[in-house]
Amino acid sequence: MDLSNLKPAKGSTHHDKRIARGAGSGHGGTSTRGHKGAKSRSGYSQKFGFEGGQMPLQRRLPKFGFKNISHVEYKAINLDALQALADKLSVSSVDPQILIESGLAGKNDKIKILGNGTLTAKLEVKANAFSKKAIEAIEAAQGTAVKL
């Protein structure tokens, strides 16, 4: 085998349809577009969701609900996760950067500390929000809860 006798594998290539190249090509005349109508014209492009004039699905279905523009989405982290982090890393302060590095939160997440689990380590916890139960538990362990 050398470069002079290389060729594609059998069946891996095909010839493109030569459309609008006369009747002898088999694709002349209407150029595979059928007869008349919008789809046969040049410049035709169907609008997204168009159903041939039938009322489209997105207009048949009613609108419902609303999106509260004031809603803030928090990444919830429980006290037991903080305790596990304190045991693993032996830190006295937990801030968003430590939570991001440990994989508990993403870099764009707002963090809320929730009161599920127990906390025995004395920690200074910095987060965007705290539940009342979480603040009580942190302060019961002689720690501090700092809102960012």
The CATH number assigned to the domain holding 114 equals 3.100.10.10
Q: Would residue 103 count as lying in a domain?
A: yes
Last residue of a domain, one of 30, 45, 65: 65
Task: Kindly state the percentage of the chain with pLDDT values over 90.
Answer: 95
Which pLDDT band, with edges at 50, 70 and 90, does 1 fall under? confident
pLDDT given for residue 90 in this prediction: 87
For the whole prediction, is pTM greater than 0.85? no
- Do 79 and 59 have their domain in common? no
Q: Would residue 7 count as lying in a domain?
A: no
Closest among 135, 137, 79 to 146, alpha carbons compared = 135
- Do 57 and 87 have their domain in common? no
Task: Give the span between the Cα atoms of 144 and 136, in whole angstroms.
Answer: 10
Task: Give the span between the Cα atoms of 74 and 94, in whole angstroms.
Answer: 17
- Extract the runs of DSSP E, i.e. beta strands, from the chain: 74-78, 93-94, 110-114, 124-127, 129-130, 144-147
pLDDT digits (tens, 9 = 90+) for 55-114: 999 999 999 999 999 999 999 999 999 999 999 998 889 999 999 999 999 999 999 999
Q: What is the largest CA-CA distance in the chain?
A: 91
Beta-carbon count within 10 A of 40 CB: 13
pLDDT given for residue 135 in this prediction: 96
pLDDT given for residue 55 in this prediction: 96
pLDDT given for residue 63 in this prediction: 94
Closest among 76, 75, 89, 147 to 121, alpha carbons compared = 89
- Do 28 and 87 have their domain in common? no
- Do 84 and 137 have their domain in common? yes
Q: Which domain holds residue 37?
A: 19-65
- Do 86 and 140 have their domain in common? yes
